[in-house]
Amino acid sequence: MKIMKVKNYDEMSDAAFQVMKEVVSENPNAVLGLATGSTPIGLYERMVKDYQEHHTNYAKCQSFNLDEYIGLAQGHEQSYFTFMQKHLFKHINMPKEHIHIPYGNSEVDCQAYEKALDQVQVDIQVLGIGSNGHIGFNEPNTPFTKETHIVNLMKKTRQDNARFFENDIDQVPKQAITMGIASIMKAKKIVLLASGEHKADAIATMVYGTKDPICPATVLQDHDDVIVIVDEAAASKL
Ligand code: F6R
């Protein structure tokens, strides 16, 4: 696990963009594993700016998102589908049919997503981290062997995400569909981003803790190409 400490959110986003740009420039057919949430927004802004200025070509790229809420229509303003359109997809030339975002609430939906993932290898997987150590929506105590599955979101995660739902936890969906930890670990390269003091404990546990499903991100200790890009606050317990 390579740790890159940077000053702040902007520097974290710059560094993440450099890694992404290298992957996409070297391989026009790159498969991008993408995350939502506050953390990767700066990365997506830089990808959009770069696309506008340098016409980086995404025509042959594909993308696979980590997760989606259950119970929100795709067009809901807080769905991850809407998030990705708004922050990235409507601004770049990745064809619609190359974009994959899990959707649905059944085992069949999970298997269909996993089957699509099985057709490719993700070249670069972008991850954020939950303050409880989750990656994707794999909450603490999720077995490392899980593929795409349905999860019950923990109260802590729903509280953390209530800021997107008028600070009202009751509006935050209780379930999500997520790529599993086994699915995430198949990526060739993983870039985990974290910014802010509220991530410091999770980052310290991920780096120094025993590999254990109680902190899902500790599984990354076993992956041979992980770059962790953390700002000073998120790195404050390293
Ligand atoms: C989002 C995802 C989550 C987030 C994590 C951090 O697709 O999979 O694991 O990365 O909850 O969220 P933020 O970035 O909002 O702090």
Q: Please name which of 20, 50, 49 lies closest in space to residue 35, comparing C-alpha atoms.
A: 20
CA 236 to chain centre: 22
User: Residue 123 corresponds to which amino acid?
Assistant: D
* Catalytic sites, residue numbers: 67, 132, 134, 139
Q: What is the mean pLDDT of the chain?
A: 97
Q: Which residues have C-beta atoms less than 6 Å from ligand 1?
A: 35-39, 66-67, 128-130, 134-137
Ligand 1 mean position, distance from CA 196 (Å): 13
Q: 237 pLDDT band (50/70/90 cuts)?
A: very high
DSSP label at 96?
G
Q: Are the CB atoms for 147 and 110 separated by under 8 Å?
A: yes
The ligand 1 atom at the shortest distance from the C-alpha of residue 134 is 9
Query: How far, in Å, from the CA of 148 to the mean position of ligand 1?
Result: 16
Ligand 1 pocket test target in 129, 157, 206 with most atoms within 8 Å of CB: 129
Average pLDDT over residues 81-100: 98
Please choose from 137, 181, 199 the residue to mutate so as to test ligand 1's pocket, defined by most ligand atoms within 8 A of CB.
137
Answer whether 0.85 is exceeded by the pTM: yes
Task: List pLDDT tens digits, range 59-77.
Answer: 999 999 999 999 999 999 9
Confidence of residue 57 (pLDDT cuts 50, 70, 90): very high
- Give me the pLDDT at residue 132, please: 95
C-alpha 37 – ligand 1 centre gap (Å): 5
| 117-168 residue pLDDT tens | 999 999 999 999 999 999 999 999 999 999 999 999 999 999 999 999 999 9
- The residue nearest atom 2 of ligand 1, judged by CA position, is 136
